[in-house]
Amino acid sequence: MTRKEFFARVGFGAATVLLPACIAGLATSCSSDDSGTSGSGSSIPAATGNFTVDTSTGPLATNGGFIVMKGIIIARTTTGTFLAVSSSCTHEGVTLGYEKSGNVFVCPRHNSQFTSTGTVISGPAPSNLKQYQTTLSGTTLTVIV
């Protein structure tokens, strides 16, 4: 075997071993959800100022619905009040969901749970979520950042 053949085989072998890991890394890097709706991604841009949401249509039009906007998860409880906390789990940054039956925010990856005010109920999340105040005028909800 010549030196050229040796390096060609070693290079091909290394590529064979590393290619699946590279492809897996690319696939997971494409899974974030920046759309402003509910989902299980991360890296949603944070709000930089107060913003408003129309509650007459979409998920917030019905009790138990929720949306994620500007790094904040906004939920309408079963009694019709509105909650707003940071949308990223404090464990790994995964976008949270809202469980209306328990009135809790839940991480879909490791099942960390947070109260309606963002306090950790169960981990592995190490810290509480940031809570935001909301005000409702007609069907316009203002999230105060």
CA-based torsion, 91, 93, 99, 105: positive or negative: positive
Q: Are the CB atoms for 144 and 72 separated by under 8 Å? A: no
- DSSP code per residue over 54-100: E-SSSGGGSTT-EEEETTEEEEE-TTS-EEEEESB-TTT-PBPEEET
- Segment 28-78, tens digit of pLDDT: 333 333 333 333 344 455 667 899 999 999 999 999 999 999 999 999 999
Band of residue 139 on the pLDDT scale cut at 50, 70, 90: very high
**Cα gap 91→83, rounded to integer Å:** 21
The pTM is what?
A: 0.68
Give the H/E segment covering residue 107. Answer: none
